A and B are shown apart, each in its own frame.
Chain A
Amino acid sequence: MNTTHIIGVFDSKSDLLAGIESAKSKNITIDEIYTPYPVMEAIDAMGRKSRFTTAAFIYGFAAVVGVLSFLYYTSVIDWPINYGGKPTNAFPSFIIITLVLTILSITILSLFTFSVRAKIYPGKKYILPDERSTDDKFIILFDKKTAGAGFEAISAALKANGASEVYEKEV
Chain B
Amino acid sequence: MDTKVIFSKKFNYITYGLMGLGAIGLGYGFLTDTHRTWANLLMNNYYFLSLALGASFFFSLQYITQSGWSAMFRRIPEALMAYIPYAAIIMLIMFFGLHDIYHWSHPDLVAKDELLAHKAPYLNIPFFMIRIVVFFAAWILLTRYLRKLSLQEDQLGGTAIFEKMEFWSKVFIFVLALSFSMASFDWIMSIDAHWFSTIFAFKNFAAAFYHGTSLVGLIAIVLYKKGYFKDMNEYHLLDFSRYMFGLSIIWGYLYFSQFALIWFGNIPEETIYYAKRWDNGWYIFFIANFAINWFIPFIGLLPQKLDKNINFVYFICILLLVGLYTDIYEQVMPDFIKSPSFGIIEIGVFAGLAGLFLFAFSKALGKAPLIAKNHPYLDESLHHHLH
Minimum CB distance partner of B387 in chain A: A40
Mind listing 17 A-B residue pairs with CB under 8 Å? A40-B387, A41-B387, A44-B387, A57-B302, A84-B266, A86-B266, A92-B256, A92-B259, A92-B260, A92-B263, A92-B264, A93-B260, A93-B263, A93-B264, A95-B256, A95-B260, A96-B260
Please give 5 more A-B residue pairs, beta carbons under 8 A apart, in addition to A92-B263, A95-B256: A44-B387, A92-B256, A92-B264, A95-B260, A96-B260
Residues of A within 8 A of B256 (CB): 92, 95
Measured between alpha carbons, how far is A95 from B264 in the docked complex, in Å?
12
Considering only residues 47-85 of chain A, those with a C-beta below 8 Å from chain B are 57, 84
Interface positions of B (Cβ within 8 A of A)? 256, 259-260, 263-264, 266, 302, 387
Residues of A within 8 A of B264 (CB): 92-93
10 tightest CB-CB pairs across the interface, nearest first? A40-B387, A92-B263, A92-B260, A93-B264, A84-B266, A96-B260, A57-B302, A95-B256, A92-B259, A93-B260
Residues of A within 8 A of B387 (CB): 40-41, 44
Measured between alpha carbons, how far is A57 from B256 in the docked complex, in Å?
22
Residues of B within 8 A of A41 (CB): 387
Q: How many A-B residue pairs have CB under 8 A?
A: 17
Residues of A within 8 A of B259 (CB): 92
Residues of B within 8 A of A44 (CB): 387
Measured between alpha carbons, how far is A143 from B137 in the docked complex, in Å?
69
Measured between alpha carbons, how far is A40 from B260 in the docked complex, in Å?
41
Measured between alpha carbons, how far is A159 from B260 in the docked complex, in Å?
64
- Nearest CB of chain B from residue A47's CB, rounded to whole Å: 15
- Nearest CB of chain A from residue B212's CB, rounded to whole Å: 26
Dominant secondary structure at the B interface? helix
- Nearest CB of chain A from residue B242's CB, rounded to whole Å: 13
Measured between alpha carbons, how far is A92 from B259 in the docked complex, in Å?
9
Residues of B within 8 A of A84 (CB): 266
Measured between alpha carbons, how far is A57 from B302 in the docked complex, in Å?
9
Minimum CB distance partner of A41 in chain B: B387
Measured between alpha carbons, how far is A96 from B266 in the docked complex, in Å?
17
In the complex, per-residue mask of A90-102: 1 if CB is within 8 Å of any chain B CB, else 0: 0011011000000
Measured between alpha carbons, how far is A41 from B387 in the docked complex, in Å?
8
- Nearest CB of chain B from residue A70's CB, rounded to whole Å: 19
Measured between alpha carbons, how far is A44 from B385 in the docked complex, in Å?
14
Residues of B within 8 A of A57 (CB): 302
Residue of A84, A92, A96 with most partner-chain B CB within 10 A: A92
- Nearest CB of chain B from residue A100's CB, rounded to whole Å: 13
Measured between alpha carbons, how far is A155 from B302 in the docked complex, in Å?
44
Considering only residues 120-141 of chain A, those with a C-beta below 8 Å from chain B are none
Measured between alpha carbons, how far is A93 from B259 in the docked complex, in Å?
10
Residues of B within 8 A of A40 (CB): 387
Residue of B256, B260, B264 with most partner-chain A CB within 10 A: B264
Residues of B within 8 A of A93 (CB): 260, 263-264
- Nearest CB of chain B from residue A41's CB, rounded to whole Å: 7
Residues of A within 8 A of B266 (CB): 84, 86
Residues of B within 8 A of A92 (CB): 256, 259-260, 263-264
- Nearest CB of chain A from residue B354's CB, rounded to whole Å: 35
- Nearest CB of chain A from residue B69's CB, rounded to whole Å: 16
Measured between alpha carbons, how far is A119 from B367 in the docked complex, in Å?
60
Measured between alpha carbons, how far is A95 from B260 in the docked complex, in Å?
9
Measured between alpha carbons, how far is A131 from B387 in the docked complex, in Å?
28
Minimum CB distance partner of A57 in chain B: B302
Measured between alpha carbons, how far is A144 from B79 in the docked complex, in Å?
61
Minimum CB distance partner of B259 in chain A: A92
Measured between alpha carbons, how far is A86 from B271 in the docked complex, in Å?
13
Measured between alpha carbons, how far is A44 from B387 in the docked complex, in Å?
9
Minimum CB distance partner of B263 in chain A: A92
- Nearest CB of chain B from residue A98's CB, rounded to whole Å: 12
Measured between alpha carbons, how far is A96 from B259 in the docked complex, in Å?
12
Minimum CB distance partner of B386 in chain A: A40
Minimum CB distance partner of B262 in chain A: A92
Measured between alpha carbons, how far is A92 from B264 in the docked complex, in Å?
8
Residues of B within 8 A of A96 (CB): 260
In the complex, per-residue mask of A9-49: 1 if CB is within 8 Å of any chain B CB, else 0: 00000000000000000000000000000001100100000
- Nearest CB of chain B from residue A104's CB, rounded to whole Å: 17
- Nearest CB of chain B from residue A22's CB, rounded to whole Å: 22
Residues of A within 8 A of B302 (CB): 57
- Nearest CB of chain B from residue A71's CB, rounded to whole Å: 15
Measured between alpha carbons, how far is A50 from B67 in the docked complex, in Å?
27
Measured between alpha carbons, how far is A64 from B252 in the docked complex, in Å?
16
Minimum CB distance partner of A96 in chain B: B260
Measured between alpha carbons, how far is A86 from B259 in the docked complex, in Å?
15
Minimum CB distance partner of A86 in chain B: B266
Residues of A within 8 A of B260 (CB): 92-93, 95-96
Residues of A within 8 A of B263 (CB): 92-93
